[in-house]
Structure 1
Amino acid sequence: MQMNKPALFTDVLPGAAHWSMKVPKGHVLRFKDLEGGANLSLLMYNPDNLLERYNAPDTLKGQHTFKLTNGNCLYSDMGRVFASIVRDDTAWIDSVAGVANKEKVTAKWGARDYQSDRNQWKQNGYDSLLVEVAKYGLGKRDLAANLNLFSKVFTKDSGDICYQEEHSKAGDIIELRFEMDTLVVMTTCPHPMNPARLYPFKPVELSLLEAAPLSQEDACLNSRPENERGFENNRRYLVQHGSYTV
């Protein structure tokens, strides 16, 4: 997506870190893989009703896809569109593999703790997300299936699920345009299927930009008939909450 205006802010999320922010409707979050091989695990919630959150099964089955990429929408469990994928240099976003827990990370890369290793400790995606959602009064029961930006998981003809090494390259960008106010929770801990010998500390740059107005020719709106209904659900929701703008 081409942006004429400068970013409202830019920051870098180091490897093995976690963060969250409320993204207003009509804005784009741009994620950049700075070194190649990054992974950013992401969850979404409605900040005005935290019971509404990203729903992976509805997102995939409604768009008849196993992977997500440019042109796809990201749905809540209320049938509304949290965000649209308006740019994906990697052409494949993992939607099924989840995150690693402490036991998996320890078995693969050994144990470290923050008290001894500070920022070089081997944090895991599950605990990172759990710590972050706790800031909003959420817990284990609220950790729904997540997205893994910059990572690709595919199936062989045999049915085996495989991780694609070196999927994302340095400089690759993914942009999400938010169609409603959304609480975004994220972590840069490594993908659970990453076979790297050493724990990968891979940073991701984040930028917030103002989105161009939605047009009737928008690729995400028109990629599936289901997406037209999702955007209509958004419109009705925003009308009821006094935040709909033409």
Structure 2
Amino acid sequence: MSYQHEIPGGAAWSAPIRAGRLMTLTTLAAGANASMLIIGADRLDRLNVPDTLKSQLSACIAPAMVLMSDRGTALATVVRSSLDWHDCLAGFGHDRQLEERFGPSSYAKDGNSWRRSARLGLVSELTKHGFGEADLHGCVNFFSKVGISDDSRATLTFVPDHSAAGDQVSLRSEQDLLVFVSTAPHPLSEQTYAPGGVRVEISSAAVHDTVAELKLRDEAVRALEQAGRLAG
């Protein structure tokens, strides 16, 4: 048994996900972006991007890596991906960025073509679960890549054409979670506003994705052990 939902481009979605589930995201068009926030169902653990990167010696999210909370607890494990790079440095897009790039937009003016930022979509989904703006935190921008420019400040720059339709990433939930996703454009993308949709599928996690087979770093293994201890 599995659950599927298609998030249109520029929209947002959220759902509770039980521990031991496999969440697979699939792009429905080239250049899609999925900005994801993760909060433990106990509302204590939140995705901590700096700790996730520092402990696993990486500048991006890729398989096999554990997404860690600010308590050093595993939230989810990236077990498979068709791409070797998912951005988690640039954060999510804001309304001002969209307005500066594409001009003002609103539902009253543009109807269902209203250009919504990732921040707006994520806050909207957070409020459905009793959260608010104060609960925004660092996100993972699945299917997007950033690089370093040649200027003296080593500015982050968006890498176009990184993903194609049909690219996938799969995460195994290591505890009960609340997951929030926006499919608004990446904040550094300067392409035409035409965000692609993303399909979400939730199913039972495959038992063969063991720690040994994933070749996780010791820090990631400890995060998984901590999640197991908290689960009882």
Equivalent of 2:18 in 20, 24, 27: 24
User: Does the CA contact (< 8 Å) of 2:31 and 2:195 recur in 1?
Assistant: no
Q: Cα distance, 1:51 vs. partner?
A: 3.3
Equivalent of 1:124 in 107, 110, 117: 117
- Structure 2: distance between partners of 1:173 and 1:154: 21
Q: Cα distance, 1:157 vs. partner?
A: 6.0
Amino acid at match of 2:50: P
1:52 aligns with 2:45: yes
Q: Supply the RMSD in Å over aligned alpha carbons.
A: 1.3
TM alignment of 1:1-246, pairs within 5 A: 8-48=2-42, 50-156=43-149, 159-196=154-191, 198-213=192-207, 214-219=209-214, 222-239=215-232
- Structure 1: distance between partners of 2:199 and 2:124: 21
The normalised TM-score by structure 1 is 0.89
Task: Provide, for residues 172-200 of structure 1, a one-character-per-residue CA deviation record: whole Å limited to 9, x for no partner.
Answer: 0111111111100110000011111x212
Amino acid at match of 2:95: K
Amino acid at match of 2:202: L
User: Does the CA contact (< 8 Å) of 2:45 and 2:73 recur in 1?
Assistant: no
Tell me, what secondary structure is at the counterpart of 2:126? helix
Amino acid at match of 2:101: K
Q: Cα distance, 1:216 vs. partner?
A: 4.5
Q: Cα distance, 1:228 vs. partner?
A: 1.4
Tell me, what secondary structure is at the counterpart of 2:44? strand
Amino acid at match of 1:148: N
Q: Cα distance, 1:223 vs. partner?
A: 2.0
Q: Structure 2: 5+ residue runs without aligned partners?
A: none
Q: Cα distance, 1:217 vs. partner?
A: 1.9
- Structure 2: distance between partners of 1:51 and 1:140: 16
- Structure 2: distance between partners of 1:218 and 1:59: 20
- Structure 1: distance between partners of 2:66 and 2:147: 20
Tell me, what secondary structure is at the counterpart of 1:190? coil
